[in-house]
Structures are given as structure tokens and as C-alpha cells.
Amino acid sequence: MTTIFSANLGYPRIGEKREWKKAIEAFWKGDIDDKSLKEQTKKLRLNNLKKQKEHGIDFIPVGDFSFYDHILDTAVSFNIIPERFNHHNPKDLSSYFAIARGETNAVAAEMTKWFNTNYHYIVPELKGTTPKLIENRALHYYEEAKEELNIDGKPVIVGPVTFVKLAKGYQESELESWVNRLLPLYEQILSELAAAGAKWVQIDEPILGTNLSEKELQLVEQVYQTIDNKVSGIQIILQTYFETVQHYERITALPVKGIGLDFVHGDNLALIEKFGFPSDKVLGVGIINGRNVWRADLEERYQLLQNIQQVANPETLVVQPSCSLLHVPVTKHLEEKLDPVVKDGLSFANEKLEELQSLTIALQEGKQSAEDAFKASVQAIANLDQSDYRSQAPAIARKDAKREVPFAERKKHQEATLKLPLLPTTTIGSLPQTQKVKRTRTKWRKGDISDQAYNEFIETETKRWINIQEDLDLDVLVHGEFERTDMVEYFGEKLKGFAVTEFGWVQSYGSRCVKPPLLVGNVEWEKAITVKEIAYAQSLTDKPVKGMLTGAVTILNWSFVHEGFPRFTVQDQIALALEKEVLALEEAGINIIQVDEPALREGLPLDRLKWPAYFDAAVNAFQLATSTVKPETQIHTHMCYSEFGEIYEAIDGLDADVISIETSRSHGEMVETFEKNDYKKEIGLGVYDIHSPRVPTLQELEANIKRALETIDVEQFWINPDCGLKTRNEAETIAALEKMVEAAKKARKEWAKETKETSRFDVLN
């Protein structure tokens, strides 16, 4: 008979009301010392463990906590510290945060997306480092949970192959060498955990859901055979998630005690039905969606568990989420303003623990033992399905969207209309959201100030920053987005079909948290969303002001979309709604409209075979939103962390007139990709990093511009920061932009000497 247990793979770090974020930011400001920070976060960490114990979780993860990012934690623990930070004591928090955020004389480490999620990790830099184990974090947190709460936890560590594959600073041919250099450190961690009494350890290898080569697969087999030979006394559950496991038979044959599979994403069920599962191994069944917030259909999930149990026949079955609950908010119980039908249909982290408990009990004791939970699940789902949110049929999107005038011709129209200088300068969109802005918005939402008073405040801030931008002598201005909380949540508040939460926060990067809207029903545009604020900003200046919108792909990827919706259909619905907003901006006299798609690369399936369908849908959605504008209207877009070479055709297919890419932490690497592609449209590679509080030097900016212009034609290049400036303070923002404009003007003078005639030469500054 199969033994049934429950497990969690990771818990949100941030706290119900973002207590973690507030403590860390207080430390950065110098309001608390590191002792106080550690005390506050320990209290939160232990409380998180208590919750999981109270919910009956058998295998409780420990070591999933972080002060910033778990990949950065692993790198620092292994002494993989970039040379420019070697003057720090590697055990100090100041060193740790410096790597993530940069400091006066050292740029921050690169940051990129964790697989196809909106969580960002700090990219380890292997070059020039000498790995050694500075701290066994997993052991520390295991012992803490045991001593403080009598919890015999399941330490969580990132596997060696995933860690090195996600790192940089080595040649592809050196992958095996680097994994083997780290392998003794993993052996030490595991041996010390075994000596301390740990029975299980969760080793995360999500890289197994990607298309590994035969050589890489052999490396995986070698790694776990070596660990099995050298480490005893502890059992490994090898955890995968986000996609179907590639090379299923060989992965399940690895010498580990358990395998965790995702039964929400991909099709691991088909593999188990075809190949079975080793009867002597533990099967971790990722049955509850760890990346979405909608209540599980317990009847359907229970039936799936029974089917898996019958075809797999493992000695032990563990009911668990599909991945760490890091990607969802903590609890829905704080939500007092949501429609009760929507709220009842939600399941955040704590509620997912309840669902795991109900399914585990049902498997152990029979479904009648969890009858109340099952009935509540069925009723909540039915109520949402029958609500007004689902009253209309999905819109049928056009499939032939395309700009009628080719780019070469559009460019002439746009140059005549905009009259921009060579190497035009701009920002990406948002400007600093000061505490005053946030407090005023909060007062307005609470009803403490009137709509009129709030609108007057927004206009005052907008006017002030238009003046600042003119004083800086930027060429294309922005209105600043002071009326917006978040680039996706704001549109979720305005478009029909969405709902928004008060406390539905999730970690995006470092202390930065976002509140994804809930996509509940069919999406429609009801009235102008951005026109009033942007048209007001344009009325204050003779320089062009960009209209700022978030694209359909990003809205979809950064929302919690109900699982019953066909994603590409919903994406097209959003695009058609945005098209109406684009045309409304154009009608209001806005000649530059930026439709941001920072999440386009992020949403790619891990399996490359699924890429073509994804790209086709993404390109179609962007063109649905933008293709009906006049030739003289310049369409911009912005993207984050895109490996340009991999998605070149899709980016070109968007047919945006100008694209900006967030690349300052890997600027040179991005420029190299242009040497392999003949991109004809205009482009801005972020010339400085806005995720770091440091102000770039003029020399750094000049070097980034010069490096880009070695490959990109001067007629194509725009100069801008690498992302929006919402999270930066005013002083550092103004100082950085001053330097950026100065660097741009110096570059123009240099090019004016070398260029006798360009289409913009007559309007050089």
C-alpha cells in the first residue's frame, strides 16, 4: 500500500503585509542595524514555518528564506563573489547587498528572470572566483527550525547543474568543469546535514524541464551518481517544476530517493502513463498550482491523484504544490474589498496549504474525511463560473494585423513630424514615486482627500517633472505615471474583466513587490485610460511626450489569469482593448506611443518546441494593438532581459519603430548579438542600471554608448536608462539623467565630426 504524505516546496518570504520588505528597506536606509534586521526576519521566518506545521504539512521546507534572492545566497555561500566586491567580508550583509544593488565604484551583478516567471535572480559570475563553502545556509536553517520549533524540516538547495547553467563567466565547454568544481561543496553541505539529523533534502533542478543536450544529460547522471557514492545518511528528492521533464526515463532512473514532478504545467502525466514510475522511489506530485491564485477543483485534483497512484505505483506519494509558493501572495483573508464571489474563488499560499491538507487526508482516509472542503471547492468554482464576469463570449480577434506602410517609409514621416536630434534621449516611462506620491494616493483611496484634490496633485507632479525634464534637456519626455501604482495593476483597474486586490503582493526582485491583477472575465475597453494625464503633460511642452501603455503579452503574463481561459484568446482581447487606447492617444495629438512588453521573453515555454506558437500569438497581439496608427505615429516598445539572438525574429516581427531593451548589467553581451543580426529599426540599449541606487559615471555611460555604436548605426540608436525610474529617488534620478544627457551630447559632437550628412544632422544639439 502506498504511503501518503504532504509537502511544501517553498513559502513566500515577504509576510502578509510585506514586513520583510519594510525591514530590508529600513536596513538599507540605515534606520535599523543588521542585528535588528536579522531579528525581525527570523521572527517572520519562524512564523512562516509555524503556519505550515499548523496546516499539517509533513515535509516543511527550510532554507527557502532569503534576504534578497536564493541564487545570490548560493553564490555567496560558495564564495562566488565578483572581483569588484572582494574588498568586502563575504559574510557581511553589506557585501551581499552590494552585489545585488551595486555601490559607488562597482556596478551591480546582472539580474534576470527565473525561468518563465516574473521573479528575478542575481546571475552568478563564475569568472575569476575560487569556490569554497563559506556558510552552510541549509544547515543553519535546518538547525534553527529544529531548535526553535521542533520542526524536522526538509532543507532546500539549488542543484549544481541548474546553478551553473544559470551562471555566467564561463565558456559552454567549461560547464562540466565548473559543476565538478562545485560538486565537493554540495557533498559537504549534504554530509553536514546528514550529521545534524536531516532525513530529507530537496534539491531543485528546474533546468531538467528545458532542452538539455546529451552531454548535459550525461553530466546530470554523473553528478547524482557521484553524490550517491559519496554521501550517505540523507535522502534526496530531486525537484523539477514549470514544465514536462525532458528525458523522463533517464531522470527517474537517477540514484535519488524521490522525484518531484509538476502535474499542472506540461504533460508529466502522459510520461507516467507511458513509462510508469520506479516503485522504489518517492513520487512528489505537484498537484496544486504554485504559480496561480485560483481555487483548485478538489474533485478533479483528487481524481488525478488517484489515476497517478494507479499507474505510478510508487512506495510513497507526496502531495505538494507544482512549485514553490514564492510566486503567490500569502493569504486572501486580508481582502475585504473584493467581490465575495471572486474572493471565494481564490487560493493564496495559506489556502493552498489547506488544499494540500484536504487532498492528503482524502487519499489517506477516503474522500468523505474531507467532504466539507470538497463541497466548498465545487460551490466556489460554480459561483464564479456562473457570475456576471463570464457573461459574454470571448472576442474573436483579427489575425491579419499589420502596419500598412513599411518601416523605411514610416521613418521619413516620423522624422518630419518629430524633428529629433541624432542619438535622441528619453526615459523609459515612470519617474520616481516618492513617499509623498504614495501617501497622497493612499489618502485618496481611503477617501481622505477628494478626487479634485488628488487630480490637482497629479497635475502638479506632472508639471514639476516636465519642467525638470526640460531643464535636463531630454529630447522625448514622459508624463511620469504618478497616477499609476504598477504598470499592469493600473490597467487591471481600468479594463473590464479584471479585479484587483489590496494585499496580493508577490516578490519580483529584491525588496520590490508587485500586486498582479486578477483576470476574472472577458476583457473590454470601456473608456479612455491614459489620455487625460498624457495630453495634459503634452500641453505643457513643445517637446514630444510619449504615451505610455503596457502591452497585452505583459498584462497577461503579469496577471493571475483564470485557468479556465484560453490564454491566447484572452491575450487578443487585451490587445483589442489596447488598440482603442492607442487610437485615443493618437486622436489627442500624441505622436509617440510606447507599448511596453517587458514580459515577452519571460513568458516563453521552457520547451523550445512550444516557442513558435507562443511567438506567433505574441506578435499578433502586439500588432493588433498598434497596427492601425498613422505612419507618422511612432510606436515604441520596451523589453527586459531579452536574449536578443533567441527572439530576434519575434522582436523584428513586432514591427515597432523603436525598441528599448533593459541591458545595462549585460550591455556588452547584448551589443554582441547585433553583430550577428541585421536589425533595421531603431533601438535603445539601456546605458545605465536603474535597479541600483548608484549614479553611473560619465565614463561608464560614454563607454556603453561607444560600444553600442561600434555595431549599431548611429541613425538607429537612442540613449536611455534601461528601465523605468519609479523605484529610484529624485536626487539620484536627476544626477544620473544629467550624466546621461551629457554623454549623449558628447557622442553627438563626436559623430558630427565624422558624419557629413545624416537625416537628422541639421537638428543636432
Catalytic site residues?
691
Q: How far is CA 583 from CA 571, 634, 728, in A?
A: 19, 12, 31
The verdict on whether residue 221 carries a ligand-binding annotation is: no
Helix axes 214-230, 175-195, angle to 10 degrees: 30
Sheet of strand 496-499, all strands in order from the earlier edge strand to the far edge = 496-499, 518-524, 560-561
Upper half-sphere CA count for residue 366 (Cβ side, 13 Å): 2
Where helices occur in 366-450 by DSSP H, the ranges are: 371-385, 407-418, 435-446
* b/e per residue 369-403 (b: at least 16 CB within 10 A): ebeebbeebeebbeebeeeebbeeeebebbeebeb
The verdict on whether residue 21 carries a ligand-binding annotation is: yes
The verdict on whether residue 375 carries a ligand-binding annotation is: no
Where helices occur in 518-643 by DSSP H, the ranges are: 531-539, 552-557, 567-587, 611-626
Q: What is the SS3 assignment for 433?
A: coil
* b/e per residue 306-341 (b: at least 16 CB within 10 A): eebbeebebebbbbbbbbbbbbbbbbbeebeebbeb
Cell numbers standing for residue 181? 568544481
Among 195, 70, 50, 32, which Cα is nearest to 509's?
Answer: 70
Q: What is the DSSP string of 455-524?
A: HHHHHHHHHHHHHHHHHHT-SBB--B-TT-S-TTHHHHHHSEEEE--SS--EEEETTEEE-PPEEEEEEE
Give every CB contact of residue 650 below 8 A, 6+ residues apart in sequence. 600, 615, 618, 619
Is the distance from CB of 688 to CB of 736 less than 8 angstroms? yes
Nearest-angstrom CA–CA distance, 93 and 38:
10
Q: What is the pairing mode between strands 235-239 and 258-262?
A: parallel
Among 755, 418, 721, which Cα is nearest to 589's?
Answer: 418
Is the distance from CB of 634 to CB of 657 less than 8 angstroms? yes
The verdict on whether residue 739 carries a ligand-binding annotation is: no
Chain centroid, CA 320 distance in Å: 23
The helix (run of H) or strand (run of E) holding residue 685 is: strand 682-685
The verdict on whether residue 662 carries a ligand-binding annotation is: yes
Place of cell 500500500: 1
The verdict on whether residue 513 carries a ligand-binding annotation is: yes
Among 421, 541, 406, which Cα is nearest to 475's?
Answer: 421
Nearest-angstrom CA–CA distance, 551 and 603:
13
The verdict on whether residue 430 carries a ligand-binding annotation is: yes
Q: Determine what percent of the chain falls in helix, strand and coil, rounding each to the nearest 5.
A: 45, 15, 40
Give every CB contact of residue 79 below 8 A, 6+ residues apart in sequence. 90, 129, 130, 131, 132, 133, 134
Among 574, 740, 597, which Cα is nearest to 659's?
Answer: 597
Give every CB contact of residue 328 below 8 A, 6+ residues apart in sequence. 12, 290, 291, 292, 293, 348, 349, 352, 506
The verdict on whether residue 526 carries a ligand-binding annotation is: no
The helix (run of H) or strand (run of E) holding residue 337 is: none
The verdict on whether residue 118 carries a ligand-binding annotation is: yes
Where helices occur in 166-291 by DSSP H, the ranges are: 175-195, 214-230, 248-252, 268-275
The verdict on whether residue 638 carries a ligand-binding annotation is: yes
Nearest-angstrom CA–CA distance, 578 and 86:
48
Q: Is residue 196 classed exposed, middle or buried when 0-12, 13-18 and 19+ CB atoms within 10 A define those classes?
A: middle
Nearest-angstrom CA–CA distance, 601 and 210:
15
Is the distance from CB of 425 to CB of 442 less than 8 angstroms? no
At residue 721's C-alpha, the angle toward residues 715 and 723, to 5°, is: 120
The verdict on whether residue 728 carries a ligand-binding annotation is: no
Give every CB contact of residue 520 below 8 A, 6+ residues apart in sequence. 342, 384, 389, 497, 498, 499, 562
The verdict on whether residue 294 carries a ligand-binding annotation is: no
The verdict on whether residue 738 carries a ligand-binding annotation is: no
The verdict on whether residue 323 carries a ligand-binding annotation is: no
The verdict on whether residue 429 carries a ligand-binding annotation is: yes
The verdict on whether residue 596 carries a ligand-binding annotation is: yes
The verdict on whether residue 168 carries a ligand-binding annotation is: no
Positions at the binding site for L-homocysteine: 428-430, 481, 596
Positions at the binding site for L-methionine: 428-430, 481, 596
Positions at the binding site: 18-21, 113, 118, 428-430, 481, 512-513, 558, 596, 602, 638, 640, 662, 723
Positions at the binding site for 5-methyltetrahydropteroyltri-L-glutamate: 18-21, 113, 118, 512-513, 558, 602
Positions at the binding site for Zn(2+): 638, 640, 662, 723
